Structure 1
Amino acid sequence: MSKLANEPDSAAHKKEAFRLLVKNTLERRLFYIPSFKIYGGVAGLYDYGPWGCAVETNLINLWRQHFVMEEDMFEIRCPCVTPEVVLKASGHVDKFTDLMVKDEVTGDCHRADHLLKNFLNDILAKDAKITAEKKKEILTDLASLDEFTGPELGAKIKAYNIKAPDTGNEVSEPYPFNLMFATTIGPTGLVPGYMRPETAQGIFVNFKDLYYENGNKLPFAAAQIGSAFRNEIAPRQGPMRVREFTLAEIEHFVNPYDKSHPKFKDVAHLEFFLFPRAEQTGLKDHVKTCIGDAVAKGIVDNETLGYFIARTYLFLTGIGINKEQLRFRQHLQNEMAHYAQDCWDAEIECSYGWFECVGLADRSAFDLKAHTSKSGVELVAHEVFDKPKDVEQLTIVPNKKILGKVFRKDQKILSESLESMTEAEALALKAELEEKEKTIYRVCTTGQEFELTKEMVTISQQVVKTHGRNFTPSVIEPSFGVGRIMYCLYEHCFYTRPYTPGEQVSSVFRFPPLIAPIKCTVFPLIQRKILNYKAELISNSLTRVGVSNKMDVTGRSIGKRYARTDEVGIPFAITVDFNEGVTVRERDSKQQIRVPDGEVVDVVRDLANGSRPWAEATSSYQVVLVPDAEAES
């Protein structure tokens, strides 16, 4: 697939045909199914069938091994239903929105940025006569999509004269739509809540207990895997944009004064595609970069963030994502949350274009400070110095009497926000008040703005000698969209090959053995009691050593049975015949080796868990040379 937006129309048609072929295979073989299909379905909701469930289970198990076990993380599980007060503190109630427009005639809703993005990509794909100046303008707008405010997005939609898809009707001005599903907790309906839009808040509110469990030491990390819910405006991109999905999230808590990582040196040499903001704003492409150099030059903010970017690269390529279609894109300055130190998205290219599948962010201390402010429970860590140090201490004292007189009922929320400022925010506010005597202060959790004067808040620093200090930890957050990764994996592993010479083609998923839904099929060559019995013994023995397998005793030809297992990505097949030993077949090469009965279980187990490559097996056992027409028909 092309990596460029301005590909010719024929390439766009090929991409669409490829997507349709993958989709038909996935739905026909029950990797996923539109939910409530017999009732017409609901956009953005999908069921996972047997093969999809198995792939997801294997992916999550590998994720746990790669991250949770490797980094000695805590794993927790929190409820999907979250009280409003928690999501009010985090800012989701007021700010978790997308900009939406409505068809002025039908009332159909469309996500405004997607409407503009699709329109501009269509121009690039289909208009061969586009001028260089117009092309540059379009590419600039595409690069700036995430930065546009509502009015700016509305102005762009008008400037390009964009209408509602399908109907051609005028669309409304963009307006915010909160993506959370609201609910109530308990029979009275008096306790408002939401279906969680992410799993992270459950970790933040448990920080104090997790910190204690870790011996009151930093750094440490906690992970959570579970469902999250977002009421997408118009989910039109299959399983890539859904309303219920699985997230695997990590919150790595670290001392904000030391974000080095002891294992960064192990990954510093890795090279892969980075897409820093300088390349984006300069309308350039992503560049292959050594992660050690990116951290050293300050392109990536710190070692811990760089370490998790590199580990994410190793995970994604290890499960079968094509490294040539994987990049890490840095958020533009105005795109980042105001509290973030640095943010990168792992984007994977598929037939829908480049899609964010993993978010990696240094969220600073925002979340713990927000929950400290709202709950009144201090979520802090303590650092003991080897010897007493002179430390600058920052004090923020809101003048609540003046604030109450001027802002009345808003005094409390304003005071809490001022007290939870970071040191950098507080010093910036102090400098601005000293220069101008008044300024506009914005409360990030509600979006409210207040005009402050010098008398309303006192911000000072003093040097004291101390044996230690309390501080609010920073958090590095890698957040994995499991469903999106799975769909990209399906596309990256999918190919077709001839089934009969010059006639039919068969579909194949080339999943790595560790990801494949099951590892092996067991076939009796023909239907005979003695062969069925031997096949059953082998199948049971494989199950006992932990190798997932499936017996196929249907009356189909062996070739058709091979084709059906290739189509769901099963890497190995054992065929039982009347001779001594069995044949073991590998999916992609279609090679077969002859293995003695007493060794087959160990051989397939080692092949399935990746400890023995197929090339080694073919050098250890006799390769069976069977023509395709005989083996596959």
Structure 2
Amino acid sequence: MRSNPAVLSSYSLHRILLRFRHTLSSQRPAGFIIPMATTEDSLRQALADKQSTIDASGNAIRQLKTSGASKSEIDDAVRALNALKLEKTSIENQLRASISGDANGSVVSRDAFRQAVVNTLERRLFFIPSFKIYRGVAGLYDYGPPGCAIKSNVLAFWRQHFVLEEDMLEVDCPCVTPEVVLKASGHVDKFTDLMVKDEKTGTCYRADHLLKDHCKDKLEKDLGISTEKAAELKHILAVLDDLSAEELGAKIKEYGITAPDTKNPLSDPYPFNLMFQTSIGPSGLSAGYMRPETAQGIFVNFKDLYYYNGNKLPFAAAQIGQAFRNEISPRQGLLRVREFTLAEIEHFVDPDDKSHPKYSEVANLKFLMFPRDEQMSGQSAKRLCLGDAVSRGIVNNQTLAYFIGRVYLFLTRLGIDEERLRFRQHLPNEMAHYAADCWDAEIESSYGWIECVGIADRSAYDLRAHTDKSGVALVAQEKFAEPKEVEKLVITPVKKELGLAFKGNQKMVVEALEAMNEKEAMDMKATLESKGEVEFEVCTLQKTVTIKKNMVSISKEKKKEHQRVFTPSVIEPSFGIGRIIYCLYEHSFYMRPSKAGDEQLNVFRFPPLVAPIKCTVFPLVQNQQYEEVAKHISRSLTAAGISNKKDITGTSIGKRYARTDELGVPFAVTVDSTSSVTIRERDSKDQIRVSVEEVAAVVKDVSEGRSTWTDILKKYPAHTSASADE
């Protein structure tokens, strides 16, 4: 062996490595992992380095074998190689965890968990695929009895938390909307997704979803890709919403993405309008659409609502209703559907004063926030104080922050885990040109982070758009005690010159010029006067154009006015009720062993606030007297407004508990005498003893949040029963 220095060097290296690992393992506790870099990029680099070491070790072992090394020497080198492979597996698991957010680093476990939740939901009729006996229709689902009850409870709490507490004006507008309304709002021209077709079968797919799936699959499953390639894929995911049809098509071709089902080639991407079109009246001449959102019904009614509110700002209008989007290829189960319930608020406020009188009530809240700077620098969401975020300019204004805080309280009181809830600020490429700021409440589920609520400062765009199209001024007034001399910004686009220069894009350029704030306008004026032209970004065109001096007039005029007439700004929280409910299902679901330990029992830990049934009533055994008491208790619960269900079947009490735990029922009353009964709490399985006449009051207090279960335990004697459990 001495005649081959290269082999000796490799062998010596492995002997040193083996001794080092032996020494290290004797000094650390079992299960200890050698500290490694924690970022995804460094983990990928560590994985690549480890693979190189493994390859070199494998080559060294082969050289040992060909050189006639002893069996013990080869065995030592093989053990060292196996140890390296174990370390590689450990890095792979850490990398999977970094990518997926799964503590176990397992994508499969997320899928298995989701399947367990969905199976339980469908089996217990929380939801049913619509038109199931006819094989159903993708993206359409029915709510079964418990699902309906939960949805009703969520909406009732939404009304109480927002409409009643904020003194909002609630409206209910038609789902069928005339084309002219949606033309003014921009939906007819711009409410599109890019679609591709299987060139042989004609099956349609959403282009960005195919590219997104490809990038995520490569990042999650191909752990050996280089850090440079991983960075490229992550960059594509970050700018996906900003890719043009041409750029999207180029990436699909570059990565060789084909139709998922057939592997056939795909067409170039082209826009598809997501609205369901219809006609109004028998002639078919009046075009309409099923509304894609509920907001437009509020905007077109602004003038009447403003009058109803005594011509005072600020005020908010709210609406709950169905919305419709003709999704290209619905997926993600209940999260992406073609008909869904929206609950939307339009809070109208003076653009010069976006303070909020109740802001101090939420300013000290602290929760996960994900500002755009952190996103763009590759950092993660951090727990921030809402008041600090406003004072540092991260959140644009007090009113927007107030609604962010109220949304946080709403979601966490419903039962959403605050550790899996974050507020993500829109990146510049996601924001409309007219928006001042926009945040999404995102909830983590087995599908990843899901946008469930959007909270946007939409500026005055919507009211201005409908004013221009309808000719009806949707404005507010502020009367002055004394006439004031005011200086007004006047932006006058020269439409003839703009039309010659931009032809079909003239309207969008005009809109962008008129939407400039004072600073932007005066900067443009100064540049035009000094240089004669200026580069101007038109967001709706997604490009920069050249504006010349003869295309726009910008000035300030002084006038004496008795009142100020202005278009209000709009702060819009928009809630996807179905998405919130599905995330609530996942956050509430867990499994626990039966008493015998031979099976896992499904449980939904819904808070009493949203539970489909608040209480079940069980006679311990089939007994006429006990059944009469059970009926009496049920009637008293119903009279108190507490939803309940009797179960007088002859099955064991443990099985009856398990059956209702799976529905998320928080309390169970067991009748085992005619004078007093037990009340069992679902998650702790603690039981108390109360008189028959006290049952309704106790359950009502804890269901409506006036008392906690801890309070109840202090007040009433505990009860134990070996037979009354799973």
Instruction: Find the aligned partners of 1:533 and 1:600 in 2 and give their Cα distance.
Output: 15
- Among 159, 176, 179, the residue aligned to 2:271: 176
In the other structure, the counterpart of 1:248 is 343
Identity within the alignment, %: 62
Paired residue secondary structure (2:195): strand
Q: Which moved more, 1:139-148 or 1:567-576?
A: 139-148
Partner of 1:204: 299
CA contact (8 A) 1:89 1:445 kept: no
Structure with bigger gyration radius: 2
Of stretches 322-331 and 421-430 in structure 1, the one that deviates more from structure 2 is 421-430
Q: What secondary structure is seen at the aligned counterpart in 1 of 2:106?
A: helix
Q: Which amino acid aligns with 2:236?
A: D
1:225–1:326 distance in 2 versus 1, CA, 3 Å:
same
Partner of 1:631: 724
The one-character-per-residue Cα deviations of 1:403-453 (angstroms, maximum 9, x if unpaired) are 789999998x68984896454475566556546656798998899999875
Contact 1:521 1:549 in 2 (8 A): yes
2:438 to 321, 333, 343: 343
CA distance in 1, matches of 2:588, 2:500: 65
Q: Which one of the candidate residues 664, 687, 702 is aligned to 1:569?
A: 664
Q: Which amino acid aligns with 2:680?
A: R
Q: Which runs of 5+ in 1 are unaligned?
A: none
* 1:394 CA drift (Å): 2.6
CA distance in 1, matches of 2:97, 2:613: 32
What letter matches 1:531 in structure 2? Answer: Y
Query: 8 Å contact 1:140–1:283 — kept in the other structure?
Result: no
* 1:271 CA drift (Å): 1.0
Partners of 1:260 and 1:104 in 2: CA distance = 55
SS of 1:357's partner is: strand
The correspondence for 2:323, drawn from 228, 235, 243, is 228
Structure with bigger RCO (C-alpha 8 Å, 6+ apart): 1
**Distance in 1 (alpha carbons) for counterparts of 2:329 and 2:491:** 44
Which piece of structure 1 moves more, 226-235 or 463-472? 463-472
Q: Which residue of 2 is the match for residue 593 of structure 1?
A: 688
CA distance in 2, matches of 1:133, 1:295: 37
CA separation of 1:506 and 1:406: change in aligned 2, threshold 3 A = closer
Change beyond 3 A, Cα 1:158–1:432: farther
Q: Which residue is equivalent to 2:413?
A: 318
Number of the residue aligned with 1:160: 255
- Residue pairs, 1:574-585, within 5 angstroms: 574-578=669-673, 580-585=675-680
* 1:81-480 paired onto structure 2 within 5 Å: 81-397=176-492, 417=511, 421-424=515-518, 427=522, 430=525, 434=529, 437=532, 454-480=549-575
Letter in 2 for 1:520: C
Separation in structure 1 between the aligned mates of residue 643 and residue 629 of structure 2, nearest angstrom = 17
**Separation in structure 2 between the aligned mates of residue 475 and residue 536 of structure 1, nearest angstrom:** 52
The structure in which a higher percent of residues are helix is: 2
Find out whether 1:516 has 2:611 as its counterpart. yes
Compute the displacement of 1:168 (Å). 2.0
Report the alpha carbon displacement of residue 402 of structure 1 after superposing the two structures with TM. Answer: 6.7
RMSD, aligned CA? 2.6
Structure 1 Cα separation of the partners of residues 701 and 475 of structure 2: 47
Q: Kindly state the Cα deviation for residue 35 of structure 1 after the two structures are TM-superposed.
A: 0.4
Match of 2:352, SS?
A: coil
- Counterpart secondary structure, 2:313: coil
Task: Determine if contact 1:5/1:124 at 8 Å carries over to the other structure.
Answer: no
- Is residue 2:131 matched to residue 1:52? no
Contact 1:373/1:416, CA 8 A, preserved across alignment? no
The whole-number CA distance in structure 1 between the counterparts of 2:621 and 2:458 is 61
Q: Which stretch of the first structure deviates more once superposed, 91-100 or 577-586?
A: 577-586
2: CA distance, partners of 1:443 / 1:73: 35
Q: Shift of the alpha carbon at 1:279?
A: 1.3
Q: Give aligned pairs, total.
A: 630
Paired amino acid for 1:351: S
* Alpha-carbon distance in 2 for matches of 1:409, 1:609: 58
For residues 405 and 635 of structure 2, what CA distance do their matches in structure 1 show? Answer: 40
Q: What is the alpha-carbon distance in structure 2 between the residues aligned to residue 576 and residue 350 of structure 1?
A: 39
Partner amino acid, structure 2, of 1:79: P
Give CA deviations for 1:568-588 in whole Å, capped at 9, x if unaligned.
Answer: 101001111235311111111
C-alpha deviation, 1:139, in angstroms: 2.1
Counterpart secondary structure, 1:624? coil
More divergent stretch after superposition (425-434 vs 527-536) = 425-434
Report the counterpart of residue 609 of structure 1 in structure 2: 704
SS at match of 2:692: coil
Contact 2:206/2:328, CA 8 A, preserved across alignment: yes
SS of the residue 2:625 aligns to: helix
The residue aligned with 1:490 is 585
Structure 1 residues 515 and 430: CA distance shift in structure 2, 3 A: same
Distance in 2 between residues matched to 1:127 and 1:403, nearest whole Å? 51
- What amino acid is the match of 1:508? V
Partner Cα distance (1:9, 1:443) in 2: 46
Provide the rounded CA distance (Å) in 2 between the counterparts of 1:2 and 1:347.
Answer: 20
The letter for the 2-side match of 1:338 is: H
Note the alpha carbon deviations across 1:359-406, whole angstroms, 9 max, x for none: 011000000000000000000111234554432213344556777899
- Structure 2 distance, partners of 1:624, 1:418, is 70
Residues 63-103 of structure 1 deviation map (CA, whole Å, 9 limit, x = unaligned): 11111111111110100000000000000000011112222
Are 1:417 and 1:443, in contact at CA under 8 Å, matched by a contact in 2?
no
The secondary structure found in structure 2 opposite 1:594 is strand
Q: 1:169 to 1:252 in 2, by over 3 A?
A: same
Q: Distance in 2 between matches of 1:197 and 1:350?
A: 25
Q: Deviations over 1:489-533 (max 9, x none)?
A: 000000011124221111000000011011101111222222221
Is the CA contact (8 Å cut-off) linking 2:509 and 2:538 kept in structure 1?
Answer: no
Contact 1:220 1:253 (8 Å CA) reproduced = yes
**TM-superposed deviation, 1:226:** 0.3
Judged with a 3 Å threshold, the aligned counterparts in structure 2 of structure 1 residues 322 and 405 are, in CA distance, closer, same or farther, namely closer
Q: Distance in 2 between matches of 1:141 and 1:473?
A: 37
